[in-house]
């Protein structure tokens, strides 16, 4: 258990562990015995190891859902719903600004400077960025483009969606928590029967595999 000390600490602190944020720990967690051992350790803390459907990110869940736990989860859900639109809009903005044909995915490298440059050249992107940065989730107070972009990346890093491998270098890597976010969106769509089309073909292709 001693070797997993730092991992446990991160999990207990509420972090999401994926192949990008901690490759080594992630590989350990792929082992069922390790997961069982960690679960056993977490039992007195009323927590257990959980993962998203895809198994690309691990986090801690409540073992027993008592009133206090439900209260905390309700508050958290509320926060999540409030941050959903800005987060998704950011994903779209990045995709469009960088001219990519796919959404940012775990392991993708993002450079604020590149993002700024693209938004600077395009009035419509610039306006969307401005609107996004001043949203209460990102909370930028500045009207300078660079400062706004900086604030966006800072907040996303704080929320664990981005990782900055070197503090002195302005280069960020998308983490597996993005997968978790997208799964939540899918869940909400299905659960609330939202009229959103999307992935009809996905099931078919998976069946083929």
Partner 1 sequence: MNELESRLLKTGAERLALLGKHAERLMQGYTRDDVPLDGLNDSALRKLLAARVLWRPDEQSGVKLAPKVRELIAEMLADETRRHVNADVAETLELVRSLVHSYREARSRSEHWRQEQQLLRLRQEVDDLNGRFADAIDSLWQRLNSDFGFVSQLSDKIRENDRAQKQIVRLLDGLVLIDFDELIALVGSDGSLRKLLISQLQQRLSHHYTSLREVQRRLIELMARFRKQQARSRLISGMVAFMREHPGFVPGNYAKRSDVPALFNHAAPLNAAAAPALDRALENRVLAELLHKLPTPRHAAQTVESAVAALTPEDNLAAARQQALKQDVERFYLAVLDQPPAEPISALAYLYDSHLEWPDEIWLFQVISEYQGLPRSEQQAFRLHQEESPASSFNDLRLIHDVALAVAV
Strand partners, 71: none
In the sheet that holds 57-62, the strands lie side by side as: 17-18, 57-62, 47-51
> Which of positions 24-53 make contact with partner 1 (CB under 8 A)?
45-47, 50, 52-53
The residues in 49-68 that bind partner 1, with binding defined as CB under 8 A, are: 50, 52-53, 59-62, 65
Three-point CA angle 137, 141, 144, nearest 5°: 115
Position among 74, 113, 146, 165 found at the interface with partner 1 (CB under 8 A):
74
Q: By CB under 8 A, is residue 1 in contact with partner 1?
A: no
Total residues interacting with partner 1, rule: CB under 8 A? 59
Give kind and range of the element (H or E) at residue 34.
Answer: helix 32-42
Shortest Å distance, C-beta 201 to partner 1: 5
**DSSP characters over 115-168:** HHHHHHT-HHHHHHHHHHHTSTTT------HHHHHHHHHHHHHHTTSEE-SSTT
- Point out which residues pair with 110 in neighbouring strands: 172
Q: What is the DSSP string of 67-129?
A: HHHHHHHHHHHHHHHHHHHHHHHHHHHHHHHTT-SS---TT-EE-HHHHHHHHHT-HHHHHHH
- Decide whether 109 or 144 has the Cβ nearer to partner 1: 109
Pairing of strands 172-174, 162-163: antiparallel
Is residue 77 a contact residue for partner 1 (CB under 8 A)? yes
Q: Judged by CB under 8 A, does residue 2 bind partner 1?
A: no
Closest CB 144 distance from partner 1, rounded Å: 26
188 binds partner 1 (CB under 8 A): yes
For partner 1, which is the closer residue by CB, 150 or 186? 186
Taking CB under 8 A as the rule, does residue 182 contact partner 1?
yes
Contacting positions for partner 1 (CB under 8 A): 8-9, 12-14, 45-47, 50, 52-53, 59-62, 65, 69-70, 72-74, 76-77, 80-81, 84-85, 88-89, 91-92, 95, 101-103, 105, 180, 182-189, 191-192, 194-199, 201-202, 205-206, 208-209
């Amino acid at each position: 258990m001693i070797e997993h000390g730092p991992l446990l600490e991160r999990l207990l602190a509420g972090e999401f562990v994926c192949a990008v944020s901690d490759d080594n720990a992630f590989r350990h967690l792929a082992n069922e015995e390790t997961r069982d051992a960690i679960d056993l350790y977490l039992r007195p803390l009323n927590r257990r190891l959980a993962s998203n459907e895809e198994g690309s990110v691990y986090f801690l869940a409540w073992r027993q859902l008592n009133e206090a736990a439900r209260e905390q989860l309700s508050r958290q859900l509320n926060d999540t719903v409030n941050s959903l639109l800005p987060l998704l809009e950011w994903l779209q903005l990045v995709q469009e600004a960088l001219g990519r044909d796919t959404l940012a995915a775990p392991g993708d490298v993002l450079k604020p400077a590149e993002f700024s440059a693209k938004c600077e050249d395009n009035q419509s992107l610039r306006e969307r960025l401005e609107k996004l940065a001043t949203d209460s989730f990102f909370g930028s107070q500045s009207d300078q483009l660079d400062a706004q972009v900086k604030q966006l990346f800072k907040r996303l890093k704080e929320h664990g969606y981005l990782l900055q491998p070197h503090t002195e270098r302005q280069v960020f890597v998308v983490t597996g928590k993005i997968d978790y976010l997208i799964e939540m969106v899918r869940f909400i769509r299905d659960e609330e029967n939202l009229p959103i089309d999307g992935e009809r073909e996905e099931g078919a292709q998976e069946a083929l595999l």
